[in-house]
């Protein structure tokens, strides 16, 4: 009997070591897709960062383990210190030109926002230079900012798992349908080619903001609600590939545009924003449609994690957004939250 018990103990111990090792490393090595959340703060009725981060770690017990913040607000970074949340941090559009201006400027930004907080136990995943800054007045500074930040990071210990990148919207695509014809728009083609090539070289993903909702409301005659809500009964065909939802079709249009540039299927991307509003433009916006979209999306990312074109994409998606933000443009833009300001869910999604 005793012999038996001991024989069973050894492998169990080994398994526990493996489980613990995986628990420690899992959040930064996403293998089969995952869903995180965007934490925007354009409102005057939101709780403090400390209260929000406490909610995610204690009340929600890390059911959401990936978060993206738009600025590099020090109160948020303080609140994140010592937690196991994995964070994507933004260089705000207003700070891009500064970071691009010199290596010293980038070094200082990295010291103040990254190195200081790595020491305080913040786990960074991506540094995102701007949000939808291309096209725009600082678009031509984005690549230089990425280069400078990459230089700063590679000279410091403990930063090898942090990727520098930028986030773009479907505005950078000139063609997005059929997905295989995806390509960057002429007005940004030069900038996007250079950025895509550089990200490919350093192994960083491009961050993309993907909204089937906005595609639907701009062309309701051509796109069906079912297709936008992951409920199409029949696929739309693109050559050999079959698309059962608009989300995959939009992601694969970005894949096609990037593959065209790097001449290889080996491209990486992360969906830094996607979501559905609960109000503001009926009948498309509604709590029910938002519930369906975000739940199906989450399930798609976590259980499938692929698109028709890319079996190795490991879909990593960040749902927009944590809260309704009342300083955003009136209408649907204020109504993407999945939690009310008092931290109750708008509809079942995260529990
Ligand atoms: C892109 O890179 C090429 C080659 O380095 C350079 O000549 C061109 O100016 C760059 N374009 C932009 C818009 O940055
Ligand atoms: C939270 O806020 C929502 C929306 O204002 C409200 O319906 C709900 O009753 C509140 N819940 C609690 C527990 O206060």
The string of DSSP codes covering 232-286 is -SSPEEETTEEES-HHHHHHHHHHHHHHHHHTSS---EEEEEE---SSSSTTTS-
Distance 188 CA to ligand 1 centre (A): 11
pLDDT at 25: 42
The Å distance, Cα 52 to ligand 2 centre, comes to 16
Identify the residue whose C-alpha is closest to ligand 1 atom 12. Answer: 191
Decide whether any atom of ligand 2 lies within 6 Å of the 16 Cβ.
no
Residues 127, 77: contact at Cβ < 8 Å?
Answer: no
Q: How far does the centroid of ligand 1 lie from the alpha carbon of residue 151, in Å?
A: 19
Spacing, Cα 339 to ligand 2 middle (Å): 10
Does any ligand 1 atom lie closer than 6 A to the CB of residue 147?
no
CB 174 within 8 A of CB 186: yes
Q: What is the pLDDT of residue 17?
A: 42
Distances (CA, A) of 331 to 296, 325, 338: 24, 11, 16
Q: What is the distance between the alpha carbons of residues 326 and 209, in angstroms, rounded to a whole number?
A: 21
Residue 156 Cα distances to 17, 147, 239, angstroms: 30, 15, 47
Taking the CA of 343 as reference, the closest ligand is: 2
45 lines ligand 2 (CB under 6 A): no
Domain count, the chain: 1
Would residue 10 count as lying in a domain? no
Q: Is residue 160 part of a domain?
A: yes
Counting as low any pLDDT under 50, the low residues of the chain are 1-30
Q: Specify the pLDDT at position 87.
A: 97
Ligand 1 within 6 A of 144 CB? no
Is the minimum distance from the CB of 345 to ligand 2 under 6 angstroms? no
Q: Is 95 in the pocket of ligand 1 (CB under 6 A)?
A: no
CB atoms within 10 A of CB 190: 11
Residue with tokens 């403090």: 48
Within-domain flag for 72: yes
- The finding on whether 190 has its CB within 6 A of some atom of ligand 1 is yes
Domain of 209, in residue numbers: 28-168+186-213+262-334
**Nearest residue by C-alpha to atom 14 in ligand 2:** 342
| Unique residue bearing structure tokens 């995260």 | 350
Ligand 1, atom 5, residue with closest C-alpha: 194
How far apart CA 154 and CA 140 sit, in angstroms, is 23
In a domain, 253, yes or no: no
**Considering 273, 316, 325, 332, which one is annotated as catalytic?**
273
Report the C-alpha gap between 347 and 351 in whole angstroms. 10
Residue with tokens 């879909």: 315
What token pair was written down for 231?
Answer: 């409920």
Cα 209 vs. chain centroid, distance in angstroms?
Answer: 8
pTM above 0.75, yes or no: yes
Query: Is 244 among the domain residues?
Result: no
- Domain assignment of residue 248, yes or no: no
Cα 191 to ligand 1 centroid, rounded to whole Å: 7
In a domain, 317, yes or no: yes
Q: In sequence order, what are the beta bridge partners of 12? A: none
Ligand nearest, relative to CA of residue 261:
1
Q: For ligand 2, atom 5, which residue shows the shortest CA distance?
A: 340
Q: With a 6 A CB cut-off, is 194 part of the ligand 1 pocket? A: yes
Domain harbouring 164, CATH code: 3.20.20.80
pLDDT confidence of residue 32: 59
- Tokens 């700063």, located at residue: 152
At residue 29, the pLDDT reads 47
Ligand approaching nearest to the C-alpha of 344: 2
Q: Rg of the chain over CA atoms, in angstroms?
A: 21
Specify if 312 maps to a domain: yes
| Active-site residue, 273 included | yes
């Amino acid at each position: 009997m005793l012999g038996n018990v001991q024989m069973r103990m050894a492998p169990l111990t080994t398994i526990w070591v493996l489980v613990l090792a995986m628990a420690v490393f899992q959040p930064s090595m996403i293998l089969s897709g995952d869903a995180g959340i965007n934490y925007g703060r354009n409102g005057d009725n939101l709780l403090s960062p400390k209260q929000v981060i406490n909610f995610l770690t204690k009340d929600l017990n890390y059911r959401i383990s990936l978060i993206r913040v738009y600025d590099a607000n020090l109160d948020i970074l303080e609140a994140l210190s010592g937690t196991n949340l994995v964070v994507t941090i933004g260089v705000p559009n207003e700070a891009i030109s500064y970071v691009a201006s010199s290596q010293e400027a980038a070094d200082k930004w990295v010291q103040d926002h990254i190195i200081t907080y790595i020491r305080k136990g913040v786990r960074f995943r991506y540094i995102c230079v701007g949000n939808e800054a291309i096209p725009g007045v600082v678009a031509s500074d984005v690549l230089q900012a990425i280069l400078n930040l990459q230089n700063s990071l590679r000279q410091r210990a403990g930063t090898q798992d942090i990727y520098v990148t930028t986030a773009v919207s479907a505005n950078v695509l000139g063609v997005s349908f059929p997905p295989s014809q995806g390509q960057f728009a002429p007005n940004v083609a030069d900038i996007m080619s250079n950025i895509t090539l550089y990200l490919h070289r350093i192994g960083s993903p491009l961050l993309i903001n993907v909204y089937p909702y906005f595609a639907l409301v701009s062309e309701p005659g051509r796109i069906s609600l079912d297709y936008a809500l992951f409920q199409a009964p029949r696929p739309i065909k693109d050559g050999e590939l079959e698309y059962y939802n608009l989300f995959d079709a939009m992601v694969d249009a970005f894949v096609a545009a990037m593959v065209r540039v790097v001449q290889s299927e080996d491209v990486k991307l992360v969906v830094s924003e996607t979501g559905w509003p609960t109000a503001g433009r009926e009948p498309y916006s509604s709590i029910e449609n938002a519930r369906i979209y975000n739940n199906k999306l989450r399930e798609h990312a976590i259980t499938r994690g692929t698109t028709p074109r890319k079996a190795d994409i490991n879909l990593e998606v960040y749902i927009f957004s944590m809260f309704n933000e009342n300083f955003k443009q009136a209408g649907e833009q204020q109504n993407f939250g999945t939690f009310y300001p008092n931290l109750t869910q708008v509809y079942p999604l995260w529990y």
